Amino acid sequence: MAVPTESQLNAATLTPARHPLDPLTPEEIAEAAAILKTQRDLGARVRFETIVLQEPAKETVLKFRTGDPIQREAFIVILDNDAGATYEAVISLDQGKVTSWKHIPGVQPRIMLDEFRDCEAAVKASPEFQAAIKKRGITNSDLVMVDPWSAGNYGFEEENGRRLVLARSFLRSSPTDNGYARPIEGVTAVVDLNSMEVVRVDDYGVVPLPPNPGNYASEFVGEFRKDLKPLEIVQPEGTSIQVDGYGVTWQKWRLRIGFTPREGLVIHNIGYNDQGRVRPIVYRASLSDMVVPYGDPSKDHYRKNAFDAGEYGIGTLANSLTLGCDCLGEIHYFDAVMNDSRGGVVTIPNAVCLHEEDYGILWKHSDWRTGQTEVRRSRRLVVSSISTVGNYEYGFFWYFYQDGTIQLEVKLTGIVNTAAVPAGETPKYGTLVAPQLNAHIHQHFFNFRLDMSVDGEDNSVYEVNTVSEPIGPDNPHGNAFFAQTTLFKTELEAQRVIDPMSGRYWMVTNPSVANALGQPVGYKLMPGDNILPFAHPSASIIKRAGFMTKHLWVTPYDPDEITATGPYPNQHPGGAGLPEYTSAGRNIENTDLVLWYTLGYHHVPRPEDWPVSPVAYCGFMLKPVGFFDTNPVLDVPPSAHNNGACHA
């Protein structure tokens, strides 16, 4: 969508927001860009990295009631390619003016989609690159596929101040072929994105192209299974979901949908209606950042790592979801409206999928004395989004259960990153997944920011470990064990790792609110499978992604502390984000606080992961602990079936 002219803006009537957290509309994005271009006299060589809602103060949001006036502001990040300079701006859409403008020195914004396309064209046109691939028998670059990787920061003097990517390449055998089957090994083009010039081409020596194709698309599959019968999900009366703008009501749950270019799916104002009152649980939940470190130290492979949110934008790369493929059942979709790098509007249709699904047994008991059986079916609300980052797909699924449980699940699929190896070589730092094709060992670390609000803003965090009672007068038979609770008073105390052998979890409580038993109400964060990084503490990736060294971080709420890696991780030397936020050791007892949970997935590739990986899963849960006075799902009605209801 083109940016409207000033006369068009004057004549336009913006669609009014219905809630302070509603994402910017297409008209608001276009207007914000036009205001900034005009009032700051921006030149043609300026790129808009971000145009998003400047979220109002938390106090404003919490006090908002339907019909109250809403002030709308846009937050913008721009990159001046000529000067190599980054600026932040705040635009008042109500006043039609720039209210804040500042230069952010020494940083690089995220890499933008058109930079990827322009980079590929620049690499293919480079005589040095053409000479390098010709040495490998490739005379036509039309079928060459170029993947620009963020350059990171390794202290190289000649790279300081330049906006760089490392472009790695692959060769397709046809326009729809899986190019990742044939990496052009040993050739990396270093590209300056500001000037869009190839700075140099590193050639580490010729390695033959792997011989086999790795195609997986339906057009290449010879014969499909014939024993699969249709499975249909039918809700003849529709779903139990009510949607009002971006607000969602499902049974007793209340929440709002948001979306940003960097974070992707955001869930706001999560609450549960308990006895007629909506009790807050989480004010804001989102992916904060993620990083994928690879474990091969050779050639330029040691520089393989990617901050898929902070360097590329997981929201920008969101898929348009398809009914019957990505989502099954009765679906409500939300579009994602964002900006392109010139300040225009980009809409990703069906970027967020909302539906409900059966989830087996909710609770059951059979009384053998009376012969009576009571059973209830579980149902959950699903809010999901899927993004493609180069070769990989990431699905982010938020589940809301009837009993007050919240679950986050990441679904990982797509194509493993590949490198070519000589015939007969067994790779040490990866797995041979096809002849002469190496898939590197790697990890995926996600950090989720959970702005907690358990029955209000004044919360505290405890660690709970189960310990054995020593043999003695209190435990003469040696069978005793108990849950030991430790309060975290400062953010330094709350930097923790998982311990599955002690059943460790972390509990957020509200000391000023008690349940019917006199206990403080709470929610616990329950880790799932997890891991720590294997990179050495001195490695660049550890410095730049310090968040992944701890599974739990806790900070007092600060509206400027949104990302675990800081606002500009691209080519940053390190130390930003959570290590910097927590260095002061601030108080986190009985205050407005934020949990940051790091989730690690460890991937030693298998031949079964090629040519496309089956979905792998990782995640965590938030479960009520004393938040309710009793089981909150006793009132779920029995399900009807052919022979009557599910109770007897």
Show which residues are catalytic.
308, 392
Residue matched to tokens 């809630």: 19
Q: Across the strands, what pairs with 164? A: 192
With CA atoms as reference, report the closest residue to 420 among 169, 116, 611, 62.
169
With CA atoms as reference, report the closest residue to 345 among 25, 75, 18, 42.
25
How many whole angstroms separate alpha carbon 600 and alpha carbon 338?
29
Where would I find the beta strands (DSSP E) of 81-178?
85-92, 97-104, 144-150, 164-171
Q: Which helix (H) or strand (E) is 6 found in, with range?
A: helix 6-11
3-state secondary structure 206-227: CCCCCCCCCCCCHHHCCCCCCC
How many whole angstroms separate alpha carbon 257 and alpha carbon 255?
7
**Contact (CB, 8 A) for 331 and 197:** no
Q: How is residue 24 annotated by DSSP?
A: P
Residue 602 CA to its chain's centroid (Å): 17
Where would I find the beta strands (DSSP E) of 151-276?
164-171, 183-192, 197-203, 241-244, 247-250, 253-260, 264-274
With CA atoms as reference, report the closest residue to 539 among 165, 152, 163, 186.
152
**Contact (CB, 8 A) for 144 and 133:** yes
With CA atoms as reference, report the closest residue to 193 among 153, 155, 149, 144.
149
Encoded tokens for 301: 């492979």
Residue matched to tokens 């040993």: 186
With CA atoms as reference, report the closest residue to 580 among 598, 600, 560, 599.
560
Q: Buried b vs exposed e over 605-623: b needs ≥16 C-beta within 10 Å?
A: beeebbbbbeeeebbbbbb
How many whole angstroms separate alpha carbon 602 and alpha carbon 588?
31
**Contact (CB, 8 A) for 632 and 274:** yes
With CA atoms as reference, report the closest residue to 76 among 57, 99, 95.
99
Encoded tokens for 255: 């929440």
With CA atoms as reference, report the closest residue to 354 among 379, 321, 324, 331.
331
> Which of helix, strand or coil describes residue 117?
helix
> Which of helix, strand or coil describes residue 608?
helix
Q: Which helix (H) or strand (E) is 121 found in, with range?
A: helix 113-125
Q: Which amino acid makes up residue 336?
A: A
